[in-house]
Amino acid sequence: MSEQIKAAVLGAGYMGSAITFPLSDNRIKVNLWGTWLDDKLVESSLRGFHPKLKKTLPENVSLYYWQDLGAALEDVNVIFIAVTSEGFVNIFQKMLDNIDRDKDYTFFKLTKGFVEYRGKIVRATEAAFDIFAEKFPDKELKIVTVGGPVRALDLSHRVVSASMYGLSDSKIKDTARSFCTDYYRIFINDDIKSVELCSAFKNIYAMASGICDGLYGGQKGGFYYNTVSFLFNQACLEIAEIVQAAGGNRQTAFDLAGIGDLHVTSTAGRNRKFGEMVGKGMDGHDAFKEMYGQGEYGEGYMALKLAIPWIKSEIPDITVKTPLLFSLNNIIFNKYEPAGEFSKLMSNLGV
């Protein structure tokens, strides 16, 4: 990209703040904008300490409070969207109200999950395309779905991380290339929809590892890894089935946005932590609320809540091929007892 990149990042939570590290290290000026829920994060970051990443943000970052969205978007040509899936539609609309109709922008969506949009449950980019077309009927939306495996904390420590970008336009590929550093490695996949689906479903399936830990961690000591790995494998297979049924390439599930991102999220993410609380016996809704109260958003819980009706509406024939997904739904939303539900699931699999 010959044009100088200047970026805005919407959402000053974990991932929004973490992505500023490779950007800043590439000497890209970044405006980091916090939503109305991020006031404390912005305030503390302005004083030199980001409370979630527990460190100072890098040098090329300017911070903006929610009231200053217009200023945060001034002069930028690249916009990262890193708000929660719940906030996505609203903030995408507000953002379009504040950009310059005559300029070209490339959007990078870090948000993962489904959104509710005009009474339907859709992928976040589907809503984005619709909103954009209504606002700018003569323009084409350029939006990239960014997948993992990237845990924000690790990225902010500049540890080698790989990220799968769903895109097919070679110019945008050049833009993406300019975000790379020796520690931030970008991989391109033109099966864009599948990258987006993988990112939503990996958050859901990562809860299974957490449930195992909550369930067996005390009782079975260190001797339940076989079960965790069995469920991990089952999750990969089910994501592949979902991707394929939705018209994508199942190989996308067997790559960074699928296997890789499920791996990191299952090992160390918030969805794993959420699952652990549920595995110990807490009701799904209560666990979500408790984490929310601590400023942690259980994205997998929210994704599952929307994924079930999405599947039933979009790819209803898949349900026999995704028994783990429905077990998770039974456990998290229908108060089924985790041990019994997992046992039933697993004794139905195999010869």
327, 338 Cβ separation under 8 angstroms:
no
101, 28 Cβ separation under 8 angstroms:
no
Which C-beta is closer to its own copies: that of 85 or that of 209?
A: 209
The residue whose two tokens read 């090992």 is 267
Which C-beta is closer to its own copies: that of 76 or that of 231?
A: 231
DSSP state of 158: T
Task: Look at phi and psi of residue 165 and say left if phi exceeds 0, alpha if psi is from -120 to 50, else beta.
Answer: beta
Please report how close the Cβ of residue 319 comes to its own copies at its closest, in angstroms. Answer: 21
Nearest to 79 by CA among 59, 56, 102, 96: 96
The span from the first CA to the last CA of the chain, in angstroms, equals 54
Please report how close the Cβ of residue 33 comes to its own copies at its closest, in angstroms. Answer: 25
Please report how close the Cβ of residue 265 comes to its own copies at its closest, in angstroms. Answer: 9
Q: How many CB atoms lie within 10 A of CB 108?
A: 23
Q: List residues near its own copies by CB under 8 A.
A: 148-151, 153-155, 157, 159-162, 173, 176-177, 180, 182, 185-188, 216, 220, 222-230, 232-233, 236-237, 240, 254-256, 259-261, 263-264, 267-268, 342-343, 346-347, 349-351
Please report how close the Cβ of residue 160 comes to its own copies at its closest, in angstroms. Answer: 5
Write the single-letter amino acid at 320.
Answer: V
Which C-beta is closer to its own copies: that of 172 or that of 277?
A: 172
Residues 172, 125: Cα–Cα separation, whole Å: 16
Which C-beta is closer to its own copies: that of 136 or that of 225?
A: 225
Residues 279, 228: Cα–Cα separation, whole Å: 13
Please report how close the Cβ of residue 99 comes to its own copies at its closest, in angstroms. Answer: 27
Which C-beta is closer to its own copies: that of 225 or that of 292?
A: 225
The tally of CA atoms less than 13 A away on the side-chain side of residue 253 is 24
Please report how close the Cβ of residue 295 comes to its own copies at its closest, in angstroms. Answer: 19
Write the single-letter amino acid at 273.
Answer: K
Which C-beta is closer to its own copies: that of 143 or that of 236?
A: 236
Which C-beta is closer to its own copies: that of 212 or that of 287?
A: 212
The residue whose two tokens read 């948000």 is 111
Which C-beta is closer to its own copies: that of 1 or that of 71?
A: 1
What is each CA distance from 148 to 56, 62, 267, in whole angstroms? 23, 25, 13
Which C-beta is closer to its own copies: that of 122 or that of 176?
A: 176
Residues 111, 237: Cα–Cα separation, whole Å: 23
Please report how close the Cβ of residue 253 comes to its own copies at its closest, in angstroms. Answer: 8
Q: What are phi and psi of 316, to 5 degrees?
A: -60, -25
Nearest to 240 by CA among 267, 258, 256: 258
What is each CA distance from 74 to 67, 81, 98, 100, 350, in whole angstroms? 14, 16, 8, 8, 57
Please report how close the Cβ of residue 168 comes to its own copies at its closest, in angstroms. Answer: 13
Please report how close the Cβ of residue 191 comes to its own copies at its closest, in angstroms. Answer: 15
Residues 147, 129: Cα–Cα separation, whole Å: 19
